[in-house]
Amino acid sequence: MEKLRLAEEPRVNRAGAGCDDGPATAEAGDHATGVHLPGLDHSTGLRSGQKSRYLLRFDDICPTMNWALWRPVETVLLDLNIKPILAVIPDNQDCTLHKGEGNDRFWDCVRKWQYLGWTIGLHGYQHRYITRQGGIVGINRYSEFAGLCRARQDASLRRAVGIFQREGVIPDVWVAPAHSFDEETVGVLHSLGITKISDGYHLYPYRDRQGMMWVPQQLAVFRRIPFGLWTVCVHLDDSPYCHPGYFAHEAARFRSSIVSFNEVISEYSCREKSLPDSMFASCLLRLKRTKAKLSRII
Ligand SMILES: [Zn+2]
């Protein structure tokens, strides 16, 4: 389990819904009808000159997380008015995520974050890896869901959503442990009313034919990149985030380019997947696999 945990998500050291959402929606509609608009990049659905933007995501949020590391980070988020995605584990059973005493007020915190307009992600059910499947994204060959029959996935996800409901929390988006889930998972999520996924290596968000909204997650640290919508996934215990002041420095440096999940959904709600999306995702996946192999050798 420990070995799997180390390689779970990208680590720094090893490393047809409604279309009435405003201007961006209108652009996508023009794209769909083939009407050319000056300055519009039809492969991305964006105006030319639009720079890259970033989403922040924090994984493995659970009662036994490292609260000493979290508290200063939370203060920075509030001070800079950044609305992150928090990937919450409904019933954590992963002992590697026991960083200290469990917080008895954990669900009060989650409700407060959602009240603040932060996005709450459903991060699996118990964060236990029980299969050797990589699923759709294909970066890790272990999963809590990928490879299981639909009935088992349905049962686990209903329990997960049931815990959220019991605690008065709405799951805004799906965040798979280890990026690992498959088509059955997506089908169950859709049946449970969860229609947004934070995963994949494409350049921009898009909505698929099932109506699922895919918002990419590609980075573990901030990097200056001239275009694209980039989700930076933070694991608080990993370097460099465990170093005091690092997160505050980076959050301030990139603040003007950081957007909220709701803003992204609103802007891209009618964008379809493009060929450059698929090509970019394939290249980035290959790059990440190569990097992972090299890190094991060197
Ligand atoms: Zn996780």
Digitized pLDDT (tens) for each residue of the chain, 298 residues in all: 333 333 344 343 333 333 333 333 333 333 333 333 334 444 444 444 568 999 999 999 999 999 999 999 999 999 999 999 999 999 999 999 999 899 999 999 999 999 999 999 999 999 999 999 989 998 899 999 999 999 999 999 999 999 999 999 999 999 999 999 999 999 999 999 999 999 999 999 999 999 999 999 999 999 999 999 999 999 999 999 989 899 999 999 999 999 999 999 999 999 999 888 889 888 988 888 888 777 766 6
Residue 117 belongs to some domain of the structure: yes
Instruction: State residue 294's pLDDT score.
Output: 75
Q: How far is the CA of 5 from the centre of ligand 1 (A)?
A: 8
> Near ion ligand 1, which residues have CB within 5 Å?
59-60, 177
9 part of a folded domain: no
From 2, 9, 42, 35, select the one nearest 204 (Cα to Cα).
Answer: 42
- How close is the Cα of 61 to the center of ligand 1, in Å? 8
Tell me, what's the pLDDT at 47? 46
- Measured in angstroms, how far is the CA atom of residue 59 from the centroid of ligand 1? 6
Tell whether 127 is covered by a domain.
yes
Alpha helices (H) in the chain, listed in sequence order = 2-6, 23-33, 67-79, 106-115, 150-166, 183-191, 246-254, 261-268, 275-297
CA angle 194, 200, 203 (to 5 degrees): 115
Per-residue pLDDT at 4: 34
Q: Indicate the Cα dihedral angle 153, 262, 11, 224, nearest 10°.
A: 150
pLDDT value of position 297? 67
What's the confidence (pLDDT) of residue 285? 87
C-alpha of residue 117 to centroid of ligand 1, in Å: 22
From first CA to last CA, the distance across the chain in angstroms is: 22
Residue 175 Cα to ligand 1 midpoint, Å, equals 8
Strand ranges in 83-241 using DSSP code E only, listed in sequence order: 85-88, 119-122, 173-174, 196-198, 206-207, 213-215, 229-234
Q: From the CA of 16, how far away is ligand 1's center (Å)? A: 30
Q: What is the rounded CA–CA span in Å between residue 236 and residue 243?
A: 9
Structural domain count of the chain: 1
Cβ count near 8 (within 10 Å): 21
**Domain assignment of residue 25, yes or no:** no
Does a structural domain hold residue 292? Answer: yes
d(CA 101, CA 158): 27
Q: Rounded to whole angstroms, what are the CA distances from 5 to 41, 79, 87, 131, 138?
A: 40, 32, 16, 14, 16
Three-class DSSP category at 204: coil
Residue 296, pLDDT score: 67
Residue 17 inside a domain? The answer is: no
Q: 260 phi and psi, to 5 degrees?
A: -95, 160
Is 228 part of any domain?
A: yes
Q: If you measure from the C-alpha of residue 118 to the centroid of ligand 1, how many angstroms do you get, rounded to a whole number?
A: 18
Whether 191 is covered by a domain: the verdict is yes
Q: How far apart are CA 110 and CA 106, in angstroms?
A: 6
Measure the CA–CA gap between 169 and 218, rounded to whole angstroms.
26
Domain hosting residue 79, numbered range: 51-297
Residues 27, 154: Cα–Cα separation, whole Å: 37
CATH of the domain at 179: 3.20.20.370
